[in-house]
A and B are shown apart, each in its own frame.
Chain A
Amino acid sequence: MSDCCSTDTGVAVLEAPSAPRTSGKIRTVALVGPPNSGKSTLFNRLTGLRQKVANYPGVTVEQHFGKMSGIGRSDLVLIDLPGIYSLDSYSEDARVAVDVLHGNMPGTPAPDAVLLVLDSLHMRRQLMLAAPVLALGLPTLVLLNMSDLMESRGGEIDTLALAQELGVPVAKISATRGTGLDAVTQFLNRKSDAPQARPAGRLELPVVGNARSYRQWATGISSRTKYKAPLSSEWTKKLDGILLHRIWGPLFFLFVVIAVFQVVFTIGQPLSNGLGAVLNAVGDKIGLLLGHGWVESLLINGIWRGVASVLVFLPQILLLFLFIGILEDSGYLARAALIADRVMRSIGLNGKAFIPLLSAYACAVPAIMATRTIENKRDRFATILVTPFMTCSARLPVYILIIAAFIPNRPILGDFFGMRAAVMLSLYVLGFLAAFGTAWLLKSSILRTASAPFILELPQYRMPTVRSVGMRVLDRGKVFLKQTGTIILSVMVVLWGLSHFPFDTTLAKSAIGHIGMWIEPVIRPLGFNWKIGIGLLSSIAAREVIVGTLGNLYSADPATRSLSLQAALRHDLTLGGAMALVVFFAFAMQCTSTLAIVKRETNSWKWPALQFAYMTGLAYVAALATNQIVLHLVH
């Protein structure tokens, strides 16, 4: 430490680090680190929780809390923060991290200690963040993550020397494998027994807090601690040679998309049919036990058939999430954003907006949260407004039901690509085009800006782990079951009540029939009858509710009771009406959770209101056009 202290290197000696904010015991610990350094993986290890982790920068966009029960310290609260490059906040997610660290986040206690997670594969740059974080003066433990990978690729670092340089303890860990975590336990035990800011030691930090001085400081430390960078992953180079190739790259992208739809049909459909058969058989058995009466009618025709008609889509939804999980965990998503940048630019956005749009194939709610990584506010709002056009998994049950009922399964490109997959793919393309067109409209009118810079970090490829992808699929499956068990179940009960009131009447003369007849004139031009109208009304809560509603209504009607839902629909809808229905669902904003998240993220009712009106209007016009076009083509 003799080569420091001169003014020209911009380094000063901090004899006494600034006093800690709290003098008592440690209660709250913050996980800090650059993007994609593995903070959330570590968070899940330490808390036993399951925050979303994936292989691209910017997965975590807001703070998450958890008790550290994974290491037997449930008295301590761990805060997982979005990744940051520095304490100058540049994007919305970084601002969250910086506010929490400074104790400026309402509702979040200021942390008493910091776990600084650095990716040991790239220490030279990662160390730059250590300077401003250590300057906070909080008790800090530096964790060199992915150290197993670093060592296996020939990298080296002297952790003892690093601990001396930084004046804080340093430990090598692997969050994925869970190795080295006893260092965290030791650090916290020691710190909470004898609270003090930092062990005695002279810490040199750059006085000038800019990137240049931090960089010099970090470079100095990495050479003094004999850091040898590991060889970069050969796999990543080779794969990018193909996946970002001028011709093979975009072709592979298309192949992935088509393969997803084909698998959802060829593997998902038989599973779904099997599940449907089992659920129906069980319903019939229970029905026999109950005997005829209103109890059987409510439980079996009302609730069981309605809920089962949504539940059968579980296999397809799990398959979709499996694919999305693999794409996110492998590191391919960032490449897709890179390929898409050119197209995104033509509509006034950049490739970064493509990541939330792709993850909206699963669900728009997390996708809208993910827009926080977009630095420019107007770009971010435009992305939020168009995200619900992307075909989310809640549309899948509606599409599959209608397509399976109305579209014959003829091969187009051999067995790999059939007619049903083609119609499905075109619905996805339709949503995509609506999102793009609307984004272009917004960016050339109310949300116009000068083009914002595009800065995208490409993570190294990684083999998706069964644990990580499996957990994701399992968690989403639970969300789907919970939704079916709560929202859909309660809508079914209300519907049954309305369709049997007054007693001993026909469905058309029941309360629901009256409501249906009343709205029918509005939707008749689209080729919908009043039952579809009731389905549309109920689907404002959540899109997939319509499937349950139709299942419920058709089983309440004696004319269609004995038919399967698909057969009942074929009996009741023209091809034009059926196609208009899926087109309506492609565009309409039927999701209260999405409206709520848009309100939260834009902090105003203006944007969700505009979004709802625009999307519903577009859906109506497009469905009307579809019905009329099909009518003319058929006749």
Chain B
Amino acid sequence: MSALSELRVGTVAMVESLDLPDEVGHHLMHMGFAPEARVVVIRRAPAGDPTVYSIDGFEIALRRETACHIRVRTAQEGS
């Protein structure tokens, strides 16, 4: 498992768990960052942070400080 923030642009991964305060965590889950959701790292903002992720066809930008609390599993890591 790795943190979402560590993935390179173009990587595809599965969300495993969210290690965030309940309020933020629930909000993110309702926006699509729920376990088993497929997430793609799309691009970084011009300043290098935040990063744009694609989830369920939506593009959502998160800062590194938030994305580092989202645990993901990449395709190579398998299941």
Residues of A whose CB lies within 8 Å of any CB of B are 85-86, 88, 90, 121-122, 124-125, 128-129, 210-212, 214-215, 229, 232, 236, 240-241, 244-247, 249-250, 338-339, 341-342, 345, 350-351, 375, 451, 453-458
Contact = CB atoms under 8 A, between A and B. Distances in A.
B57 A210 contact: no
B12 to A, nearest CB: 14
Interface string B24-48: 1011111110110100001101111
B74 to A, nearest CB: 21
B50 A456 contact: yes
Contacts of B32: 125
Contact of B29 (A211, A241, A342, A345): A211
A128 B30 contact: yes
11 contacts: A85-B31, A125-B55, A125-B58, A215-B29, A215-B37, A232-B54, A250-B46, A341-B61, A342-B45, A453-B62, A456-B50
Interface string B7-32: 00000000000001001101111111
A600 B71 CA distance: 41
B66 interface: yes
Nearest to A247: B46
B29 to A, nearest CB: 3
B6 interface: no
Contacts of B52: 240, 244, 338, 458
Contacts of A232: 54, 57
A125 B47 CA distance: 29
A457 B46 contact: no
Interface in B48-71: 48-50, 52, 54-63, 65-66
A339 B45 contact: yes
A152 to B, nearest CB: 16
Nearest to B59: A458
| List of 6 A-B pairs having minimum Cβ-Cβ separation, nearest first | A211-B29, A342-B47, A85-B30, A86-B30, A125-B56, A458-B59
A351 B63 CA distance: 10
Contact of B56 (A124, A210, A345): A124
Contact of B31 (A125, A240, A339): A125
A229 B56 CA distance: 9
Contacts of A247: 46
A334 to B, nearest CB: 8
A311 B59 CA distance: 43
A246 B56 CA distance: 26
B46 A339 contact: yes
A216 to B, nearest CB: 8
B38 to A, nearest CB: 10
Given A454-B66, A456-B50, A341 B30 contact: no
Contacts of B28: 455
A212 to B, nearest CB: 6
Interface of B: 20, 23-24, 26-32, 34-35, 37, 42-43, 45-50, 52, 54-63, 65-66
B27 A455 contact: yes
B4 to A, nearest CB: 13
A341 B27 contact: no
B57 A455 contact: no
A240 B43 contact: yes
A556 to B, nearest CB: 54
Contact of B46 (A121, A236, A249): A249
Contacts of A350: 63
Nearest to B66: A453
A454 B26 contact: no
Contacts of A86: 26-27, 30
B69 to A, nearest CB: 9
Contact of A454 (B35, B54, B57, B61): B61
B26 A210 contact: yes
Contacts of A212: 29, 34-35
A458 B42 CA distance: 12
B30 A454 contact: no
A395 B57 CA distance: 42
Which of B23, B35, B59, B60 neighbours the largest number of chain A CB atoms within 10 Å of its CB? B59
Nearest to B49: A342
Contacts of A88: 26-27, 30
A338 B29 CA distance: 21
B47 A339 contact: yes
A338 B45 contact: yes
B62 A211 contact: no
A455 B62 contact: yes
Contacts of B49: 341-342
Nearest to B25: A211
B55 to A, nearest CB: 8
A124 B30 CA distance: 11
A432 B25 CA distance: 33
A455 B31 contact: yes
